[in-house]
Amino acid sequence: MPRRHGNEHHPLARFAPVLVCVLLPLVAAAAEVPLYQAQVPLAGKTEADRSAGFAQALAAVAVRASGRREAASNATITGADPTRYVQRYSTSADGKLAVGFDARAISSLLAQAGLPFWAAERPLTVIEAPGADRAEGDGVAQWRGLPVQWSDAALSAQTSSDRATLRGVRSAAGYDWIFSHAGQNVQGRGSVTDGINLAADTLAARYAPPSTRGTSTVALRIAGIGDLRAYAGLLSYLSELSIVRTASVEALHGEILLISVTMRGDRQLLGRFAAMDGRLASGNDDPSESDRSADFVYLP
């Protein structure tokens, strides 16, 4: 993703000649979900069977990339010609159709359908559900784009901002579910499918809010940029976030970098994504300390 670093008079221009060799790889705590790929059953070998498979795969990608179950029945999605969005496909000996869609085209389709966008970086949900049908849960989790890990040990009732847990207790309705993440507890009841959907719906509401239907450009003050390593690391980090489109450095005041970021969503959403891996901490927004205030603090 291209970045603009200004001209030779920019306060960080002296860093430019060596940026390429010092960019650091992003180590993210969030799991990466393939948004634009789907594998579906293929009913037969005819052209009609393949067309039906393309439509099913498109619906699956729309659900995964938007975070909304209802995306599969959205009129714009169901009325679209899937072949216009297919980038590649293959069939397997066991009757499966694997389809890869064009990311930019799908993004445009979601916007036309009025659907939000749930980025590829997603919290890993740890599930405790004694006796649960894990194959069923894995299938639903894959459909929803929810990274999951099953636990045989009892999970703590304590919640934390960097952990997502789904706890199920056997009941007459199947399970009584509690999903916890970012200090929020949400309860539900029903099958393993219901529990997975509870987790996915809650996370989608947090990480794919209405603001992700479009892009916005926000001016940010990011502290902790004390040397070249931090500067390069921050730009590398931002370039890896799938909600970020461009980042343009404006100025450097001490250890605070002024940067303009165009992104899918808004400043609040960026903070939520940053909290998943702890690379950006909330800054000091006290207006009485304007010289030192920052929206975020970069933690290399």
Calculate mean pLDDT across residues 53-69. 97
In a domain, 3, yes or no: no
Q: What are the distances in angstroms from CA 290 to CA 30, 125, 212, 295?
A: 33, 39, 30, 11
In this predicted structure, which of 35-44, 87-96, 153-162 has the lowest mean pLDDT? 153-162
- Are residues 272 and 241 both part of a single domain? yes
Calculate mean pLDDT across residues 62-79. 97
- Are residues 167 and 193 both part of a single domain? yes
Q: What is the pLDDT of residues 188-222, one digit of tens each?
A: 999 999 999 999 999 999 999 999 999 999 999 99
- Are residues 198 and 217 both part of a single domain? no
Cα dihedral 99, 105, 106, 112 sign: negative
CA distance linking residue 100 with residue 84, whole number of Å: 12
Q: What is the pLDDT of residues 14-35, one digit of tens each?
A: 333 222 222 223 233 468 999 9
Q: What are the distances in angstroms from CA 97 to CA 15, 51, 88?
A: 48, 11, 11
CA distance linking residue 218 with residue 260, whole number of Å: 6
**Mean pLDDT value across the chain:** 86
Nearest one of 299, 242, 248, 244 to 275, comparing CA atoms: 299
Instruction: Say yes or no to pLDDT of 89 above 50.
Output: yes
Q: For residue 11, what are the contacts with CB-CB under 8 A and spacing of at least 6?
A: 251, 252
Q: Which amino acid is at 76?
A: T
Per-residue confidence at 277, pLDDT binned at 50, 70, 90?
confident
Q: How many other β-carbons are positioned within 10 Å of the β-carbon of residue 257?
A: 25
In a domain, 1, yes or no: no
Quick one: pLDDT at residue 162? 60
Q: What are the distances in angstroms from CA 251 to CA 58, 100, 222, 254?
A: 43, 40, 11, 10
- Are residues 97 and 155 both part of a single domain? no
- Are residues 202 and 216 both part of a single domain? no
* Token reading at 145: 């784009």
Provide the whole-model pTM.
0.83
- Are residues 137 and 179 both part of a single domain? yes
Longest CA pairwise span in the chain (Å): 70
- Are residues 203 and 215 both part of a single domain? no
* Domain enclosing residue 216, as ranges: 13-30+211-298
Report the residue count for the chain.
Answer: 300
In a domain, 7, yes or no: no
- Are residues 202 and 215 both part of a single domain? no
Q: Please state the domain count of the chain.
A: 3
Of 112, 134, 159, the position where a domain reaches its end is 112
Per-residue confidence at 237, pLDDT binned at 50, 70, 90?
very high
- Are residues 57 and 85 both part of a single domain? yes
Q: How many other β-carbons are positioned within 10 Å of the β-carbon of residue 254?
A: 10
Nearest one of 168, 119, 114, 115 to 145, comparing CA atoms: 119
Of 207, 239, 260, the position where a domain reaches its end is 207
CA distance linking residue 104 with residue 242, whole number of Å: 12
DSSP result, 263-288:
EES-HHHHHHHHHHHTSEEE----GG
In this predicted model, which residue has the larger pLDDT, 212 or 8?
212
In a domain, 251, yes or no: yes
Of 207, 236, 265, the position where a domain reaches its end is 207
In a domain, 8, yes or no: no
In a domain, 5, yes or no: no
In a domain, 72, yes or no: yes
Instruction: Say yes or no to pLDDT of 90 above 80.
Output: yes
In this predicted model, which residue has the larger pLDDT, 276 or 174?
174
- Are residues 237 and 272 both part of a single domain? yes
Residue 137's CATH number? 3.40.50
3-state secondary structure of 27: coil
In a domain, 2, yes or no: no
Q: How many C-alpha atoms does 202 have within 13 Å on its Cβ side?
A: 23
- Are residues 161 and 215 both part of a single domain? no
- Are residues 75 and 127 both part of a single domain? no
